[in-house]
Structure 1
Amino acid sequence: MEYPQPYTLAATAPTVPPHPMLVAVVGQQYCCPHPVDLAIVRMVLTLADKFTVTDINSNVVFKLGVSLLTLHDHRVLLDVAQNPVVTLRRKIMTMHDRWQAFRGDSSDPKDLIFSLKRSSLIQLVRTELDVFLASNTSEQVCDFKIKGSWLGRSCVVYAGESNTIVAQMHEKHTFQSIAFGKTNFMVTVHPNVDYAFIVALIVILDEINQDGRYKKTHHHQQNLPTEFPT
């Protein structure tokens, strides 16, 4: 499988201090020696939400493969050549919104890359998620942590329980986004950090947010609990 070369992505202004080590989760080919800005464009007025990732020159880097049949339980991140990079699956009937990421289009446990879950059951305003690499089977300490306000599009990805930032996102409003029903936001990926991994995290964040809205509305109408037992 051929992958786009990292240097095809435009560099942002070098205002972010480089990460001291290479963070290659999906693949080293997605690590750049400079900060990378990615724009996330999500069409929200369609039957199946369209999720596209571009660089700062509007070149498509990734797209999200979606299916109305799988609802929000199965997503595939595709590269510019439509090759599957990561398959994202939500584990049903869990209390912590656990998701798993697999290499390519696989769902085999041997191809597991990482898993993600909410740090706590009740999160009213701020989002906090724990990310565990496949090798971290004990899950005593997370490998990455996501904190922030998803509604405000101001989430930050940290290395483990440290204060070391590996990526951060912020919302970007444009006239076109308002007029055409798009949700736009930018993600700055720090040097030597796997940008395919960061995009996969953002896809899951978006799905958790959308699923949370649906469950709150749907179960409130039917007076049912919003969570299920493990």
Structure 2
Amino acid sequence: MFQPEITRFVPTISVVGEGFCFPYLVDLIVKKKSGFSNTKIDVVDDNGTLLLQVKGSMWQFRKKRVMYDSISSPLLTIRQKEVAWRQRWTVCLGVGSEESNLLYTVEQSQSFQFKTQLSVFLATNPTGEICDFRVVGSYVSQSFKVYKGDTLIAEVKQRFNLGSLGKEKFEVRVYPGVDYAFIVSLLVILNEIDS
């Protein structure tokens, strides 16, 4: 069984909430299942305990996903802001998309990219000139890394399974002190952009 090594005096990077930050490495498994009318994502820990769920309809012009915590309370609303060459997404606390509940926006760094590059701007960054976080990865493998400045804070790797139509699986490693709900929301957005 996985025994986390607690790192003392880890600075916390809390975006969604401090309850999603731990002073040790957090390894998660993210399972996505797409049906004819909807998509569902389950986020579990090493023991198979359900931590988060994401649900949404497949047939929306501007996509919307809602993230729920382990007791099925709405946590985040992830919404595609506009349909354009450079996609932009907003993430709000709870259900809805009121400006007062905005936590962060995510946008493609460029309209045509050979590598996946997303810029994340916190709601507390009013000018939006310099991004607060960067997501850098690969379209082909849907694997990526998340950086705060030059510091690596999380890694995501897709696990391929032949013959699993409509199902995807990802391994997520979140570094000590980093908000894992925030990292999962970035995975949801990147997966939607790539699909």
TM over 0.5: yes
Give the gaps of 5 or more residues in structure 2: none
Give the gaps of 5 or more residues in structure 1: 1-9, 211-230
Q: Deviations over 1:154-213 (max 9, x none)?
A: 2000003x2x11100112245xx7446421110000110000111111111111111xxx
2:158 matches 1:171: yes
Q: Name the counterpart of 1:143.
A: 132
Counting only pairs closer than 5 Å after superposition, residues 116-155 of structure 1 correspond to structure 2 as 116-124=106-114, 126-155=115-144
Amino acid at match of 1:194: D
Q: Tell me which protein shows more helix as a share of its residues.
A: 1
Q: Name the counterpart of 2:18.
A: 28
**Partners of 2:47 and 2:165 in 1: how far apart?**
20
**Partners of 1:46 and 1:69 in 2: how far apart?**
9
The CA RMSD over aligned residues, in Å, is 2.4
Name the SS for the 1:91 alignment partner: strand
Structure 1 position 71, deviation (Å): 5.1
The one of 172, 180, 187 aligned to 1:195? 180
**Partners of 2:119 and 2:9 in 1: how far apart?**
20
Name the SS for the 1:57 alignment partner: coil
Do the aligned partners of 1:30 and 1:196 also contact (CA within 8 Å) in 2?
yes
Q: Name the counterpart of 1:222.
A: none
Name the SS for the 2:184 alignment partner: helix
Structure 1 position 110, deviation (Å): 0.9
Count of paired positions: 195
Q: Tell me which protein shows more strand as a share of its residues.
A: 2
Off by >4 Å, runs of 4+ in structure 1: 10-14, 16-20
Specify whether residues 93 and 48 from structure 1 end up closer, same or farther in structure 2 by C-alpha distance, changes over 3 A only: closer
Higher alpha-carbon Rg: 1
